[in-house]
Chains A and B, each alone.
Chain A
Amino acid sequence: MKIERKSKFYVFLIEILWCVFFLALSSIVCTHFFVKGSELKDEAINKSNATIIANNVAETMRISDGVMNDFQEISTGHFQKQIEKYTVDVHSVSLNDNYREHKIQISINDKILIEYVVVSEVN
Chain B
Amino acid sequence: MKKEKSNGITIGYASIITVFMILIFVTFSILSFRQASSSLSRVERTIEVLNANYEADTAGMKMKMKIDDMLKNSKTIDEAIIAIKNEVESINIYDNMVEYTIIINDKAKLEVLLTIDQIEMKSEINSWKIITTNEEGYTQQGFDF
Contact = CB atoms under 8 A, between A and B. Distances in A.
B86 interface: no
Contact of A40 (B37, B54, B64): B37
Contacts of B10: 11, 14-15
Contact of A99 (B12, B32, B39, B65): B65
Interface of A: 7, 10-12, 14-16, 18-19, 22-23, 26-27, 29-31, 33-34, 36-41, 43-44, 47-48, 51, 54-55, 58, 95-96, 98-99, 101, 114, 116-121
A38 to B, nearest CB: 7
Contacts of B14: 12, 15-16, 19
B39 A40 contact: yes
A36 B33 contact: yes
Interface in B72-127: none
Nearest to B54: A116
B54 A98 contact: no
Contact of B18 (A7, A19, A40, A119): A19
Nearest to B69: A96
A59 to B, nearest CB: 10
Contact of A11 (B3, B25, B32): B3
A34 B29 contact: yes
What 6 A-B pairs have minimum CB-CB distances, sorted nearest first? A119-B61, A33-B29, A40-B36, A19-B18, A14-B8, A30-B29
Contacts of B9: 14-15, 18
Nearest to A55: B50
A31 B40 CA distance: 20
Given A15-B15, A119-B65, A41 B43 contact: no
B36 A37 contact: yes
